[in-house]
Amino acid sequence: MTSGGLACLLALGCGEPEPAATGDGCEAVIWGAPRRSGERLSVMGSWDGWERAIPMQDFPEGQWQLAQLQLPPGVHGYLVVEEGKGRLDPHNALTTFREPEGLEISRLEVPDCERPRLEVLEVIEDAPDGFAVELAFTPARDGAALDPGAVVARLGDGTPLSLEAVDEAEQTLRLRASGRQRGKHRVEVEAIDREGRATDPVTGVGWVQPVAPQWTGGIVYQIMLDRYRGDGGAPLDPPPDPGARAGGTLDGVLAELRAGTYEALGVSALWLSPVYLNPTEAREGRDDDHLYEGYHGYWPLDTRAVDPRLGGEAALHALVDEAHARGMRVLLDLVPNHLYEDNPRVAEGHVNGWFHEHDPECICGSPTCPWGAFIEVCWFTPYLPDLRFEKSEVMELAVQDALWWHDAFDTDGFRIDAVPMMPRAVTRRIAHALWADTGPRAAGFTLGEIFTGPGAGGTEIIRYYLGPDGIDSAFDFPLMWVIRDVLAHGTADFSAVEASLASTDRALAGSGALMGLMIGNHDVTRFASEASGDAAGDPWADPPAIPTSDAVYQRTGLALSLVLTLPGLPVIYYGDELGLAGGTDPDNRRVMPGPEALLPAQQEQLALVRRVAQLRRCQPALRQGDRRALVTGRDDYAFVRDAGDGLPAVVVLSRAPTASSVDLPANSTPVPGWYKDALSGERFELGPQGAVLPMEPRSLRVLVPESSPCGSP
């Protein structure tokens, strides 16, 4: 790079742009819209070593400008130059980093124009035993058309798909899979043009009778594998100490799947804790006082191996296959941020600058390395080197690792660990890679861990990583804290829940993002112990007791019922459905008790959660309907969900410790008439004049029209 090019790149002034070079290559177009009228834009890029600024030309309509480039196939980096300064392309969400200075630049991938291409446009699940796949064909440079007679399309078991329609003018085609059993079906398609040139194969995913056709209508169940069930579904003994391995396995999850445990909870997707091979030795934790084993899976010793203590690759294949056959999806926990120190990649990485290096080492949250200032470069512990994604090979490895797990085990996406500890470019690249060939985002769902505190500030942090070009979903920690304040602690009114929901709706409007709703997870205290008031005890010396108060389980059941009836994607952390106790990490990861060990109050809570979850699965309004608040009081909360199908649902909660009543306002529902409580079977008339509903202590009602097939008769 010349000194002038470097100066421009570092925003010190680019001078006059030079004309675009012509020559061999494939066409690539970069669009720009000046922020000031009359401003001329240009682009600089890696294709010529950042030597020249290439001017954009005016587009005939609107304020747009564009640069039409002829570039070699492959990946290029570039910046848009405006007012003499290089900036990221605001119309291209994918970025990378320029070495050695680590400057973030826009990423442009130019396909080989000498070959035709296929793209999956849509998978249409329109039949009880099959689906259609729509694809677009892009000719090679010479324009040779698709040869309809040379399309090869097969399912994963080798069954060919039929060619249902071809639009030669639009260069699109539709394939049909019929006579398929319930479950997930992968499709691989390859086409040939009339010159005999083949496209690269592309894949599509079609579902037959899934539990939830869309993620918006689903329920995710989170499993900490080591603490859940042993082989054959055997309940586990508590580990010798809170940091030790308990012995849970993938086969234990498979047994519960076959027993109908998740079906009873309306679960549409299982989220498994990391299955990576982890070290056997115990290490000091962040508290420096106790030893911990890698039972949790977050210390990747081998980035592409399933831990044999969990059952190995065969057990993971068996679980995923069985889940798919039952219409359920499977999310793996992806850990791209760091490695365990004995991972074979670490030695090579230190030599090649793959890790953030500090002297002294920057440990997250230490006095010299606070989270807020060093979150992208700090290390969790000295034995978990933190990867530096500004190195191109590190970024590519992260993307390829995700694709390896996704393809090798036919997963349905990932929960991505420690999202804010990495540049946003990482999660965007992973999300893009998961659907680049398959088209529909459902083929590779991404749910991000973006841990925040309460309030709108937390929502803004989460918002940064979401959107059409980002990850699909993230956990709504601000709402979780509010639900705890209202239903576990009683320190806030239901108006706080409504305010949190409204704030998130405003922040995410138009993004297409889907928030993951929960009352807890493996990084926070258990809700039941918060409701019991003893969650803050030392997890090693003074862990919370198993609650004996019925009120604790009633409040926990109400909290989960609220999550299950609000818009979003409910996520149930294993054990929360029955009020499992637990303090801070690692006590919040107790073994899952067997059915015979449950208290009567736990059984009642589990029964309520199952009924509400099944109701959500049955009633479209609870899966995809709009929400309108009706009552937001100190102890009472009511809202209506409406999907426009004539079957709205009115949800009413009371946290009052004694019997009470809730006054629903006039015109509470868009469909006046007689309603039934889908939980109790009681009948109520909801008319233009409103209604008064009697409520038991700490109780829930879900009112649906009498014509609804859901709930009690």
Query: Tens of pLDDT along 537-570?
Result: 999 999 999 999 999 999 999 999 999 999 999 9
Is 586:243 a contact under the CB 8 Å cutoff?
Answer: yes
Between CA 398 and CA 335 the distance in angstroms is 9
pLDDT at position 38: 83
Between CA 710 and CA 713 the distance in angstroms is 8
pLDDT at residue 8 tops 60: no
Spatial CB neighbours of 271, under 8 Å, sequence gap ≥ 6:
220, 221, 222, 223, 331, 333, 415, 447, 571
* DSSP conformation class of 486: I
pLDDT at position 360: 73
Top pLDDT among 624 and 439 is at 624
pLDDT at position 711: 87
Distances (CA, A) of 155 to 23, 323, 574: 42, 18, 34
Between CA 285 and CA 291 the distance in angstroms is 6
Is 330:319 a contact under the CB 8 Å cutoff?
Answer: yes
pLDDT at position 702: 98
Query: Tens of pLDDT along 73-121?
Result: 999 999 999 999 999 999 999 999 999 999 999 999 999 999 999 999 9
Residue 167: CB atoms within 10 A of its CB come to 13
Is 269:220 a contact under the CB 8 Å cutoff?
Answer: yes
Is 515:505 a contact under the CB 8 Å cutoff?
Answer: no
Domains of the chain: 3-110 (2.60.40.10), 117-208 (2.60.40.1220), 223-273+281-303+322-335+392-620 (3.20.20.80), 625-705 (2.60.40.1180)
Beta strands 673-677 and 683-686 are: antiparallel
Q: How far apart are the first and last CA of the chain?
A: 76
3-state secondary structure (DSSP) of residue 299: coil
pLDDT at position 435: 82
Distances (CA, A) of 153 to 132, 134, 163, 196, 699: 12, 12, 9, 17, 53
pLDDT at residue 127 tops 80: yes
Is 225:273 a contact under the CB 8 Å cutoff?
Answer: yes
3-state secondary structure (DSSP) of residue 641: strand
Residue 15 has φ and ψ, to the nearest 5°, of 70, -160
Between CA 388 and CA 378 the distance in angstroms is 10
Q: Which amino acid belongs to residue 17? A: P
Q: Assign residue 143 a region (left: φ > 0; alpha: ψ between -120 and 50; beta: otherwise).
A: left
In the predicted model, what is the mean pLDDT of the chain?
Answer: 93
pLDDT at position 437: 60
- Mean pLDDT check: name the lowest of 374-388, 406-420, 425-439, 556-570: 425-439
pTM, to two decimals: 0.95
Q: Where does 63-159 show beta strands of DSSP type E? A: 65-71, 74-82, 85-87, 95-98, 103-110, 117-127, 130-138, 152-155
Is 86:106 a contact under the CB 8 Å cutoff?
Answer: no
Query: Tens of pLDDT along 616-628?
Result: 999 999 999 999 9
Distances (CA, A) of 215 to 220, 294, 327, 559: 9, 31, 13, 21
Q: How confident is the model at residue 713 (pLDDT cuts 50, 70, 90)?
A: low
pLDDT at position 359: 72
Q: Which of 472, 582, 457, 473 is nearest to 519 (CA)?
A: 582
Distances (CA, A) of 582 to 531, 557, 593: 11, 16, 13
- The mean pLDDT of 144-173, rounded to a whole number, is 94
- The mean pLDDT of 320-334, rounded to a whole number, is 98
Query: Tens of pLDDT along 486-499?
Result: 999 999 999 999 99
* DSSP conformation class of 435: H
Report percent pLDDT > 90 for the chain: 89
Between CA 216 and CA 14 the distance in angstroms is 47
